[in-house]
Amino acid sequence: MKKKRIVALAMTAAMCAGLLAGCGNDSNEGGSTSEDGVVTLKWVTVGNGMPDNYDAWLEQVNPYLEEKIGVNVDMEVVGWGDWDNRRSVITNSGEYFDILFTDQTRFSSEVSNGVFLDITDMLQETTPELYELIPEDYWKAVSSDSKIYGVPTMKDNAITEYFVWDKDIADKYGIDINAITDFDSLYPALQKIKEGEGTAPFFMSKAGASVLIDMNFDDLSSGSKVIGVKYGDDGATVVNPLDDPDILANLETIHKMYSEGLINGDAPTADDTNKYHMLFIAQGWSGAAKTTWGPNFGIANCEAVQFGDSVMCNKTIQGSINGIYSGCKNPEKALELLQLINTDTKLRDLFYFGVEGEDWQYTDDNKVERLETDWALAGYTQGNTYIVSQQTTEETSQWDEVIALNDAAVRSGLLGFSMDTSEVTTQLANCNAVYEKYYPELFTGAQEPNALIEKMKGELETAGWDELCAAAQEQVDEFMGK
């Protein structure tokens, strides 16, 4: 009577196969075109979830788009916390979309996975205006093998780091914050404050001073902090940033600060919460002290002083990219939409601020007055931020400063180079594991840096750092040889 069981098994298997065939179907439902030739494009992006007044917004946006370029949009706004999982299932499951927002954390792996369409030729043919608008360096940063895979967003594309101060506290102790532009000069100031206030003046989250690596090294778009090429190194030697004497010197200072209680004791585990801090490190631009940091961290008189240079490499430019799906049925239309949002102020404002008349309105001098501030779409993810209308609350456009910072930034010699990590995935993952394990205690000064770095290097060696470095160097040399 084994037969019965075999029959039952076979039936189950057949059912499975039948059902599988059902969902293995490649005919995705997306890319619909209505009778009058209007294409609906699905744009997947991140934000605060779907907005409540989404339908009202569509009623404003779609007619406008239809008139201009004959498309409609269908937005899918995924909440920040769901983003990692959701984008991974969407891209890997072959679910249909036209445009997907992406950034430096995943761009290169998505490109090598085949998620995005090569738009190099189409850019110049279909949307020359867009191609002209965005600087060539930016296009390089979103290329792989000289093929362009996405449209970068013009925003703060260089990174600049700041000491963000509560000015009132600094004044109380007679500290000239503008003279403090590195950790060494910061040290005596902190001691002075600590003596008076009794609490740790310098707030660090677990990321600590790990920006020191980003500020000094191009990570080759590998997503790793343990290999990099130093800015200004014309020979383009791949090294371990942890070997860098400058970084070590800084870490020693920071360790001193931590030991003396100048840095919050819980730094190795702390998050960047919206609590009041007297002083912390942040990335952005100085104007943000008034508009963002001050209000968010409860600092009445907030001021930011730059330390280090602004730097620009692939990673910093890739902070916001919109890519077109490799299976997109209307890639030209999708590109036209991306062009329009990068050039048309009216459309840009609709995406940035929400429903006109409900979330915001134009004033007589063409500024935007925000009526509600809880619009769920994230403005920086969409397109050119420079053409967003100035808000009534701003005296000057904050973007002027950003543009100046971008122009002044130190540029990596490896713009346009992104490392192909597919041969060394295991080594890369294991080296990253070593870094992940120790970085909070290293960069917040909780541990003595010399000994810890030695320990990390020992573990990196067994994790295959040498192979990783050799592979990177080989690719870099090839790139530089071109």
Partner 1 sequence: MSKKNKNADMAESSHLNKISQPTNIGFNILFILIALICVIPVVFVFMISISAEESIQMNGYRFIPEVFSLDAYKFLFDEGEMIIRALGVSIFVTVVGTVLGVMLTTLMGYVLSRNTYKLNNFFTMIVFIPMIFNGGMVAQYVVNTQLLHLRDTVWALILPLCVSSFNVVIAKTFFKTNIPESIIESAQIDGASQLQIFGKIALPLAKPLLATIALFLTFGYWNDWFQSSLYITDQKLLSLQALLNSIQRNIEMMANNPSAGISMVEYMNSMPREGARMAMAIIIIIPIACCYPFFQKYFISGLTVGAVKG
Partner 2 sequence: MEKEKKKNLKRRWNKNDTELTILALPTTIWYILFSFLPMFGLIIAFKDYKISAGHGFIYNVFHSEWAGFENFEFLIKSNDLFVILRNTILYNLVFIVVGTILAVALAMMISELWSKRKSKVYQTLMFFPYFMSWVVAAYFLDAFLNQDNGLINGMLRDAGNDPIQWYMTAGVWPFILIFMYLWKSTGYNMVIYLANISGIDGTLYEAAVMDGASKWQQARFITLPCLKNVVIMMFILNVGKVFYSDFGLFYQLTQGASGSIFNTTATIDTFVFNNLQSNMPVGMTSAATFFQSVACCITILLANWIVKKIDEDSAII
Task: Count CB atoms within 10 A of the CB of residue 440.
Answer: 20
Residue from the set 124, 269, 363, 393 that interacts with partner 2 by CB under 8 A: 269
List the Cα angle 345/407/180 in 5-degree steps. 115
If one asks whether residue 349 binds partner 1 (CB under 8 A), the answer comes out as no
Largest Cα–Cα separation, the chain = 93
Q: Which amino acid is at 64?
A: Y
Query: Which of 64, 173, 362, 380 is in the footprint of partner 1 by CB under 8 A?
Result: 380
* Binding string, residues 213-232; x marks residues near partner 1 by CB under 8 A: -x------------------
Distance CA 391, CA 398 (A): 10
**C-alpha–C-alpha distance, residues 270 and 198, integer Å:** 20
Of 108 and 216, CB closest to partner 2: 108
Fill in the per-residue mask, 159 to 198: x = in contact with partner 1 (CB under 8 A), - = not in contact. x---------------------------------------
Under rule CB under 8 A, residue 117 binds partner 2: yes
81 contact, one of partner 2, partner 1, none, CB 5-8 Å limit per kind: partner 1
425 vs 391: CA distance, rounded Å: 46
Query: Please, how many CA atoms are within 13 Å of residue 408, restricted to the half-sphere of its CB?
Result: 12
Q: Which of 5, 195, 300, 482 binds partner 1 (CB under 8 A)?
A: 5
Q: Of 59, 84, 369, 400, which one interacts with partner 2 (CB under 8 A)?
A: 84
Tokens of 461: 């060696």
463 CB-contact burial (10 Å; exposed 0-12 / middle 13-18 / buried 19+): buried
Q: Which of 143, 240, 264, 385 binds partner 2 (CB under 8 A)?
A: 264
Q: What H or E segment, with its residue span, contains residue 159?
A: strand 159-166
Contact pick of 430, 473, 479, 480 for partner 2 (by CB under 8 A)? 430
The answer to whether the CB of 479 falls within 8 A of the CB of 417 is yes
Asked whether position 9 contacts partner 1 by CB under 8 A, the answer is yes
- In this structure, which amino acid lies at residue 336? E
Query: Is the Cα dihedral 103, 129, 413, 162 positive or negative?
Result: negative
Binding-site string for partner 2 from residue 291 to residue 330, where x marks contact by CB under 8 A and - marks none:
-----------------------------------xx-x-
Contact set with partner 2 (CB under 8 A): 1-2, 4, 12, 15-16, 19-20, 23-26, 28, 84, 87-88, 91-94, 105-106, 108-109, 113-115, 117, 199-200, 206, 223, 264-266, 268-269, 326-327, 329, 422, 425-426, 429-430, 432-434, 436-438, 440-441, 446-447, 459, 462-464
